[in-house]
Structures are given as structure tokens and as C-alpha cells.
Amino acid sequence: MTLLRIEGLTKRFGGLVAINKLDFDIPANSITAIIGPNGAGKTTLFNVIGGAMRPDEGRIVLDGKDITGWRAHNVAREGISRTFQTTALFEELPTWVNLVIGYRMRTRSGVLDGVFRTPRSVRERKETSQRVLEILAFTGLADYADKPAGSIPQEAQKRLAIGVALIGRPKLVLLDEPTGGVGLGETDEIITLIEKIRDSGVTVCVIEHKMRMIMHLADHIVVLNFGVKIADGNPQEVCENPGVIEAYLGEYIA
């Protein structure tokens, strides 16, 4: 079953075509990897799907609903959340507050609820702290709960960013280089976490550079080069695709 369908998606920056008539599907309950050399348009693709940029052409359909050109907060509310390549967190705020903010889109109490401590705000606070505890356990960050997010180790920050994306119960999470900037020896926990996310029923789409890792992790791979899709399939198929070997994987496989 397809969760997200991309049809003829194009994004231009002036004369540069960052993404060119892209078509692919992200199947539900799987890990889809987007790979490609630097400048292939991977992060632009995430920005367009996530609503940070508007596409010039094409359609983005989530679960049968056209979300093309929606703004980032509405895309997030609809069920697509994302992390950023350079880890983005609310750095000066404690880890648990980062998670509280991540869950805000699922709670509705406003300023007046806060001032008067209405039953709704009390109920939603309880609900939020329960969910925060769940995610702290899920991401293994309980020890860091009270520390400012900017002060915890880099690898833990990566997991926190994933936690912030997960806490609002998305249908699809877009992870932009979840192991970027993390030492090779420290990636295992993040890989385990990504597999756990898929097993919990959330579809994952991940941009990665570490090829060996992707071949093990991904169920489905989309290869981009200069904004064009050059291959699409399971890891085996992608590895054997002559176009991919020529354009991108040659040096790794040989």
C-alpha cells in the first residue's frame, strides 16, 4: 500500500532545476531510503514534501489526500514530520520541553486555558507528560530529560530530534541524515531506533550517505542524480542497476 505518492514533482531555483519531474511512491510501514551524490536534490525534496518550499510543478499525495503546496505546520498536522540535516532542536530548553513542544500540535489548549487552568488544559498536560515519558523511553533519552537539549551528546541530540518528530504520532517521518556528524561506532543505536520506528507502524523515509548501512536498513531505495530519479526498487535491484553503478555506486561495488 502506498502512503505517499510523488507525481511529476519539479522544483527550480532560477535556472537551476533541483528536482526534475520526479515520480515515486513510499510504501506504508517500510523504510524508504533516498540516496544520491551531493547536490542530487535530496534535501530539497524533503523541503518540498515537508512544506518548507513550494513545488513548481507536480503533486504530493499523502494517504489519498493532495497536500501539494501546504505550509509546513499544516503538513506536520496532517501526519508528515521531519528532522533536519544540521540537527535542529530547541537548544536552550530541556530535553523534555523539546518533546512537549513536539506534541503541541496534538493538544488544543490556548492561552486562556493556561491562565485559568481549565479542565482541558489539565487533561492535556497529563496526556502530554504521558506521551513525553513514552518517547523518552522509546528513544532511550530518559537520563537526559532535564538537560538542555544543546548540551547533550551529538548522538543523543540526533535521537532527540527523531523523538521530537515522532511524538506527534505522524504517519510518515522524514529523516535527513540521521547519522550525519555521528561517529561510525555510535550509529548502531540510531539504526536500531529507525527499525523500531518502522516496527511501531510509522513509515520512515531517510536520506543517508552511509551506503553499507542503507543496504541493510532500507526496504526500498530511490536513487537521485541531478534531480532526476535514476533507479527505484529494493536494495538488490538498485545494486544491480547498471545506471546506478555507473553514476554513483561504481566505486563502492567494485
Partner 1 sequence: MKKYARIGLYLLVLAAAIALPLLLNMSRKGKYQIQIFTLAMVWAIATLSLNLILGYTGQASLAHGAFMGIGAYSFAIMVERIGINFWLALPLTCLVTAFIGLLIGLPSLRTKGPYFAILTLCFNVIVVVVFFNWTWLSGGTAGQKLTIPSYLSQRWVRYYVVLFFLILVLLIERQIVKSLSGSSLIAVRSNEALAEAVGIRSFREKLIAFTASCFLVGLAGALFAMESGNLNYNVTNYLYSFYILIYLLIGGVATLAGPVVGAVGLYWLLDRIEALGEFRYLIFGLILIVFIIYLPRGVVGGIKQLWEWAKGRWTRKEVPSDTPAYRGPDEEVRGIGSD
Q: Please give the full DSSP string across 156-182, using - where no structure is assigned.
A: HHHHHHHHHHHTT--SEEEEE-TTTTS
And the C-alpha cell for 124?
Answer: 492535556
And the C-alpha cell for 40?
Answer: 542530487
Of the candidates 102, 141, 182, 213, which one interacts with partner 1 according to CB under 8 A? 102
Q: Is the dihedral of CA 191, 235, 85, 198 positive or negative?
A: negative
Q: Does 178 bind partner 1 (CB under 8 A)?
A: no
Query: Quick one: 31 exposed, middle or buried, by C-beta within 10 A (0-12, 13-18, 19+)?
Result: buried
Q: Does 152 bind partner 1 (CB under 8 A)?
A: yes
- What residues from 40 to 99 belong to the interface with partner 1 (CB under 8 A)? 50-52, 71-74, 76-77, 81-82, 84, 88-94, 97
Q: Does 146 bind partner 1 (CB under 8 A)?
A: no
- What residues from 3 to 22 belong to the interface with partner 1 (CB under 8 A)? none
Structure letter (DSSP) for residue 249: I
Q: Does 145 bind partner 1 (CB under 8 A)?
A: no
**Cα(49)–Cα(43) distance, integer angstroms:** 10
Applying CB under 8 A, the span of 106-114, 179-187, 194-202, 231-239 interacting with partner 1 comes to 106-114
* Nearer to partner 1 among residue 47 and residue 241 (C-beta): 47
* Nearer to partner 1 among residue 49 and residue 223 (C-beta): 49
Residue 141 CB coordination number (10 Å): 23
* Nearer to partner 1 among residue 92 and residue 240 (C-beta): 92
Of the candidates 17, 28, 105, 247, which one interacts with partner 1 according to CB under 8 A? 105
And the C-alpha cell for 42?
Answer: 535530496
Q: Does 104 bind partner 1 (CB under 8 A)?
A: yes
- Give CA separation, 101 vs 1, 68, 107, 140, 246, in Å: 31, 25, 10, 18, 45
Q: Does 124 bind partner 1 (CB under 8 A)?
A: yes
* Nearer to partner 1 among residue 7 and residue 113 (C-beta): 113
Of the candidates 15, 115, 146, 199, which one interacts with partner 1 according to CB under 8 A? 115
Q: Does 211 bind partner 1 (CB under 8 A)?
A: no
Task: Name residue 205's beta-bridge partners.
Answer: 32, 174
Applying CB under 8 A, the span of 24-32, 117-125, 188-196, 236-244 interacting with partner 1 comes to 117-125
Q: Of 192, 197, 157, 179, which Cα lies nearest the Cα of 31?
A: 197
Number of residues binding to partner 1, judged by CB under 8 A: 47
Check residue 198 and give left, alpha or beta (phi > 0: left; psi -120 to 50: alpha): alpha
Binding site for partner 1 (CB under 8 A): 50-52, 71-74, 76-77, 81-82, 84, 88-94, 97, 100-102, 104-105, 107, 109-111, 113-117, 121, 124-125, 128, 147-148, 150-153, 164-165, 168
